[in-house]
Structure 1
Amino acid sequence: MSAGPASTAIENRLLTQPVGRLFVSNALPMAVVMSMGGLLNVIDGIFVGRFVGAQALASVSLAFPVVMLLTALTTLAGGGMSSLLARHLGAGARTQAGAVFAGAHGLALAISAALIAGALSVGPVIISALAAGNAAVAGGAQSYLLILILGAPIQFALGLHADALRNEGRAGQIAMLSVLVNLLNIGANYIAIVLFGLGVAGSAIGTVGAQTLGLALLLVLRERDRDLLPLGALRRHSWLSGWLQIFSLGLPLCLTFIGMALVSSVVLLVVGTTATNHATFIAAYGVVTRILGLAFLPQMAIALSTQSITGNNAGAGRLDRAGAALRLAMGSAFLWCLGVTLTGAFLGEPLGAMFSNDREVVSAVAAILRPMTALYVVTGPILVLALHFQAMGYPLRTAALTLTKPWLLTPALLLVLNAVAGIDGLWFAFPIADAALFVLALTLVVRNRLTAPISTTPHAKEAA
């Protein structure tokens, strides 16, 4: 089949390289880079749990929804900017690209200001409610979050410059800097938590310090590389322009992460009102979120690689290659998630013991992890399918597969199962939600007959 309109004088490896080699060469580096952030969270949790204690672990666990909110807001500015920036750069419109780059900085700064104002005004009340009145746990969480939120402008700027460099063809340099910054973050957290004895505040200080250094390195790189958008573009263009476009393009992925924060908040509220030893379960749930956060990132890398391959090949009319990549990616994600399911079933207690020497916390980790991962095997293939739909131009199907579970299924099931079965039945909300999402995905596959050729033009209803 002809490469069609995508054929140019410049070879596009996404259209010509064997699909298997193409998939591995894209997915493997991305998995390594993305897993570094998850590994940092795991090691940070080990430092806090082993060297500070179970109560400190509960404090940082209580902060997880807000940390996810920070991640979501980072993707809101950076993800929206990336879509516009890539198209302008591809068209050679560097002036427009510079304007988008500057506008994204203004939006990120406005979000930071609103976040800091909210943290100072209503933050303590929210944290106290999540802690179910446990003043010690709430106090640790407040200290931890205050430092991270005050450092949010640095986190957002780091995300913007990393996304810009990726769109400017510097993915390899971003990968190396990502590994370096995360290793520095691990070292800084160890020094602050263990050597200086700063506890949970030390974890936040180490994180902000490493982010500051990472941003400085990116600024130096941009200043020295004349092929990149110059830093002067931030002075020449208005920081108030393009906010609506950036916001609208970054919103879908942002909502996915906010949905994760919503689920975590519901869990913490339910545990706080149900469990008599709620601090133990909060600490254990925090351990589980770190483990599953690390497990999620490789499958996200697989899905993003599929998105790139599908989009390029569908645009060139090579649906055979897009289909082959989709099957390979879904199979790879299935095997990865099967490993996570087996780990949750049999290794819950050893994993819990890595984070804490409190036997109650260790037992609770195993009790939570087993049901939560019972049907985890379907989550990776569904995520791959969702981003395949996105690359094909079907936003409603993508939204159905990415937003239904965190925004509708899981919160409702958590409340119902807690009312019916208490804390022991609470965790079965996750596999039930996974089963329902699997049925939805299967329905979409059958309805749209993915085995048959699919038009590269989105249906009118979804394109609207």
Structure 2
Amino acid sequence: MNQIANELSTEKVSKLLLKQSIPAAIGILVMSINMIVDTIFVGQWIGVLAIAAITVVLPIGFLISSIGMAIGIGGSSVISLALGADNVEKAKKVFGNQFSLTTLSSIFLVTICLLFEEHVLKLFGANGNILAPAIPYFRIIIIGAPFLAFAMMGNPIIRALGKPTYAMIALILPAIANILLDIVFIKIFDWGMFGAGLATSIAYAVCGLFILGFLLSKKSNLKIGISYLKLEKSIVSEISSLGSITLVRQGTVSILTIILNYSLFKYGNESSVAVFGIINRLMMFIFFPVFGIVQGFLPIAGYNYGANLYGRVKEVLYTANKYGTIICVFIFLAVYFFNYEMTSVFTNDANLLNQTPNAILTTLLATPFIAFQLVGASYFQAVGKAKPALVLTLLRQSIFLIPFLIVLPMFFGLEGIWFSFPIADLLATIVTYIYVRKEIQKLSLTSSHHSDL
């Protein structure tokens, strides 16, 4: 623990951020390649409806895993603050409660999904011809979702413990497994959508079991016994306060998915759902370095805030925004010049090749400003300020985007759907800037007060 404390509190911020961010970014890259390859395989080997089916089903699986993600990110923020205050016993209790909460909640949600299978699929947009290929994929994905929930719970904890390389490996292993199994199950065995789902579920299991194995081993520095698994109201409340931010965000994503898939089908058809499926996978891939910076930023900001090192908190906030914005500018240029080539990787369908490039460019018009919004919202979560973190998280995907998705298509059809994204991004960035500017002023005053003492 002393070595971790020394690194997080004394090492040069830019070097530390890179050290934390690069493994996280590589892990996210491999995970996104995993998702992209999955979509490429079903798009090239099964068809357009297969892409639409994956677009509908995966958000349901991720809704279940988001419980684990919420518990993981909320708990890891508490763990970072506890370690910053040198309270190792509390960190262990938090981890034990995270384990119990993830187990109970994921089992409950999987049961609900299996009991009401067709209703759930239709709710998330399995309309028209999409339902038939979605059913076999859904059944097997849902069974693997609890493993993904444990993976999402454990990965932020590993980073909070100062072990970013292990967090990276945890994401690389399932990606490799999924790619290899996709080739075997879809191409060689010709198992279609069931094969695609089985490959993904096994990959989830590989990831979840690796992370749990690490956290329960001596390497994690969080050795716990059965007594730590007993839920404690105060700890659950603290985890929930911060984790609810992630849960609400992911829950909002689910609501967004329902509205989006409904609008895409209404103002377009099954192909329009597939178009967004390609855009969504592409966004997961191209933004991997920005997401890596955000993940690397969280434990550094949380630890130094807990240790009252406010000057370092400001420095890492500035550095993360600078690096993230530079990367986003390059991402936008790549999208501007190569949107057709990006589309052709996923499909050779003439209709999709005609629709998708322009939709990609329109959807990502506000890319240069996205880093500031992501880092800003994450900052408040990292330092344990749940209310502003929740507000900033909801801005883009709820307060701004959902109303635009409902209203703009009434006047502009499919184009209205695509333009909703950059408009929401710009408005969310403006509000985030206002929040962060006020917070920096507070940190400056608090830092000078500590210096006077």
Q: TM-score range by the shorter chain?
A: 0.7 to 0.9
Give the whole-Å Cα distance in 1 for the aligned partners of 2:212 and 2:164. 16
Any residues of structure 2 matched to 1:159-308 within 5 Å, and which? 159-218=152-211, 221=214, 225=218, 228-229=221-222, 233-234=225-226, 236=227, 241-242=232-233, 243-275=236-268, 278-308=269-299
**Alpha-carbon offset, residue 302 of structure 1:** 1.1
Give the whole-Å Cα distance in 1 for the aligned partners of 2:37 and 2:192. 14
Q: Any idea what SS the aligned residue of 2:413 has?
A: helix
- Give yes or no for the alignment of 1:154 onto 2:150: no
For the 8 Å contact 2:150–2:212, the answer to whether it is kept is no
AA paired with 1:438?
T
- Give yes or no for the alignment of 1:355 onto 2:380: no
For the 8 Å contact 2:68–2:151, the answer to whether it is kept is no
Give the whole-Å Cα distance in 1 for the aligned partners of 2:427 and 2:394. 13
The answer for the alignment partner of 1:397 in structure 2 is 388
Q: Any idea what SS the aligned residue of 1:403 has?
A: helix
For the 8 Å contact 1:105–1:239, the answer to whether it is kept is no
**Per-residue Cα deviation, 1:264-284 (whole angstroms, up to 9, x for no partner):** 221101111221xx1111111
Give the direction of change, closer, same or farther, for the CA distance of 1:53–1:365 in structure 2 (3 Å limit): same
Give the direction of change, closer, same or farther, for the CA distance of 1:419–1:351 in structure 2 (3 Å limit): same
The answer for the alignment partner of 2:68 in structure 1 is 74
For the 8 Å contact 1:352–1:363, the answer to whether it is kept is no
1:124 to 102, 118, 121: 118
**Alpha-carbon offset, residue 179 of structure 1:** 1.7
1:346 to 337, 340, 359: 337
Aligned residues: 443
The answer for the alignment partner of 1:91 in structure 2 is 87
For the 8 Å contact 2:404–2:420, the answer to whether it is kept is yes
The answer for the alignment partner of 1:462 in structure 2 is none
Q: CA RMSD in A?
A: 3.0
Q: Any idea what SS the aligned residue of 1:333 has?
A: helix
For the 8 Å contact 1:64–1:261, the answer to whether it is kept is no
**Alpha-carbon offset, residue 407 of structure 1:** 1.4
What is the percent sequence identity of the aligned residues?
Answer: 22
For the 8 Å contact 2:301–2:316, the answer to whether it is kept is yes
The answer for the alignment partner of 1:52 in structure 2 is 46
Q: Any idea what SS the aligned residue of 2:202 has?
A: helix
The answer for the alignment partner of 2:106 in structure 1 is 112
**Alpha-carbon offset, residue 195 of structure 1:** 1.6
Q: Any idea what SS the aligned residue of 1:12 has?
A: helix
**Alpha-carbon offset, residue 314 of structure 1:** 4.5
**Alpha-carbon offset, residue 39 of structure 1:** 1.6
Give the whole-Å Cα distance in 2 for the aligned partners of 1:225 and 1:132. 45
For the 8 Å contact 1:344–1:366, the answer to whether it is kept is no
Q: Any idea what SS the aligned residue of 1:357 has?
A: coil
Q: TM-score, normalised by structure 1?
A: 0.85
AA paired with 2:180?
G
Give the whole-Å Cα distance in 2 for the aligned partners of 1:425 and 1:184. 39
For the 8 Å contact 1:284–1:362, the answer to whether it is kept is no
AA paired with 1:110?
L
Any residues of structure 2 matched to 1:446-457 within 5 Å, and which? 447=438, 450=441, 453-455=444-446
The answer for the alignment partner of 1:34 in structure 2 is 28
1:20 to 8, 14, 22: 14
**Alpha-carbon offset, residue 451 of structure 1:** 9.8
For the 8 Å contact 1:315–1:456, the answer to whether it is kept is no
Q: TM-score, normalised by structure 2?
A: 0.87
Give the direction of change, closer, same or farther, for the CA distance of 1:344–1:108 in structure 2 (3 Å limit): same
Give the whole-Å Cα distance in 1 for the aligned partners of 2:348 and 2:3. 61
Name which of structure 1's ranges 254-263 and 441-450 shifts more when overlaid on structure 2: 441-450
**Alpha-carbon offset, residue 372 of structure 1:** 0.7
AA paired with 2:194?
A
Structure 1 residues not aligned, in runs of 5+: 1-7, 458-464
Give the whole-Å Cα distance in 2 for the aligned partners of 1:163 and 1:9. 19
